[in-house]
Structure 1
Amino acid sequence: MIIKNYEIGELQSFLFNLLLKGKESRMRTRFLKLLEKQLNQINLERQQLVAEYAEKDEHGEVLYKLETVDGNEIEFPIFSEDAEKEVQKQILTLLNEDFIIEETADKIDMLNTLQEIILNCDLEFTGKKATMYDRFCEIFEEMKHPEITQ
């Protein structure tokens, strides 16, 4: 199964909000743990990119500027113009990378259950949600089903 990194959060949110019980709920929870692990990795790599490209003080610490956003003061790292373009390019590359979930014997039951949940979802969607749901269906329809020998 192949999911783009930028799709993980939306898929996670979609699955999290489905009303499920029993085995379906357990398999969803296992799958959400896989997605959460990948999101944590993406966030770590994003932070590393920011730290790599941001302006630093004499001790090598990232410099920040305070800005007010919706009435809240938020710290933003400081970048030179070239560094900001490069870090944005690198983060975009990271978000467009594939997250591959191997369809191994230990995951096949979970993946098949999730495929069944997604493809037979009895909800109605419009607009952006309809487009996202269609993409989630594509992801699960593209799953391979090799014979798993044990």
Structure 2
Amino acid sequence: MTKTLTFKNEELAAIGNFLGTLSLKNKASRGRTKLIKLISAKNDEYNEDRKGTLEPFIKKDEAGNNVEGDTPGSVVLIEEKTGEANAAINEIDNESAVIEFTEYSEKMKALYDDIADYPTEFSNQDAAAYDLLMDQLETAFENEKDGEK
């Protein structure tokens, strides 16, 4: 049976960053490392899609280069197309990113078991990322629990 986790594209970085803050040992740590790699690959795809989607809305200079914004790495959008650009980006941000982890199932189960009763309290973004991650891990492993009953 294929095991997957499903997040929104815009949630990937927060979940990956959260996982990096956890203090884990052995198999759970290895599960975290595998999951971070899988999340990172999906996040790279998302960033490429986002960049490609924005391209037609970016203001160009006389040489045809993107006009850079005030902050490093940002660009200026064509003023008349800002609403259209925001709608397109919002759509990509909310698309599902499905992460298949069947081959790492044992390591992911160890990760799930270790963080289910994690001894540290979480707040703000970490609490939200923990909740999203646990919802997905619980869904992925609940069939196994049902089979044990």
TM range (shorter): 0.7 to 0.9
Q: 10, 16, 19: which is aligned to 1:12?
A: 16
> Cα offset for 1:52?
2.2
Normalising by structure 1, we get a TM-score of: 0.77
Contact 2:9 2:93 in 1 (8 A): yes
Measured after TM superposition, the shift of residue 79 of structure 1 is 2.0
TM-score by length of 2: 0.78
Aligned mates of 2:131, 2:109 — CA distance in 1: 18
Counterpart Cα distance in 2 of 1:135 and 1:64: 34
Q: What residue number does 2:45 align with?
A: 41
Q: Residue by residue, what CA displacement relative to the aligned partner does 1:16-42 show, whole Å, maximum 9, x if unpaired?
A: 011112222112111100011111111
Q: Percent identity?
A: 27
Give the gaps of 5 or more residues in structure 1.
68-72
The answer on whether the counterparts of 1:50 and 1:77 sit within 8 Å (CA) in structure 2 is: no
* CA separation of 1:144 and 1:20: change in aligned 2, threshold 3 A: closer
In the other structure, the counterpart of 2:82 is 84
How many angstroms does 1:128 deviate by? Answer: 4.8
Structure 2 distance, partners of 1:56, 1:127, is 38
The verdict on how the C-alpha distance between 1:9 and 1:55 changes in structure 2, with shifts beyond 3 A counting, is same
Q: Is contact 2:34-2:104 (8 Å) kept?
A: no
Q: Which runs of 5+ in 2 are unaligned?
A: 145-149
SS across alignment from 1:61: coil
Q: Deviations over 1:51-73 (max 9, x none)?
A: 221122455432234x3xxxxx6
For residue 124 of structure 1, give the secondary structure of its aligned residue in structure 2. Answer: coil
What are the superposed Cα offsets for residues 84-143 of structure 1, whole Å, 9 maximum, x if unpaired?
Answer: 212211111111111112353x13223222222332212113455434432322121121
- Cα distance change, pair 48–144 in 1 and its aligned pair in 2 (3 A): same
Q: CA deviation at 1:76?
A: 3.7
Instruction: Give the structure with the higher percent strand.
Output: 1
Q: Which has the higher contact order (CA 8 A, sep 6+)?
A: 2
Q: C-alpha root-mean-square deviation of aligned residues, in Å? A: 2.4
1:1-150 to structure 2, matched below 5 A, reads 1-65=5-69, 67=70, 74=72, 76-104=74-102, 106-143=103-140
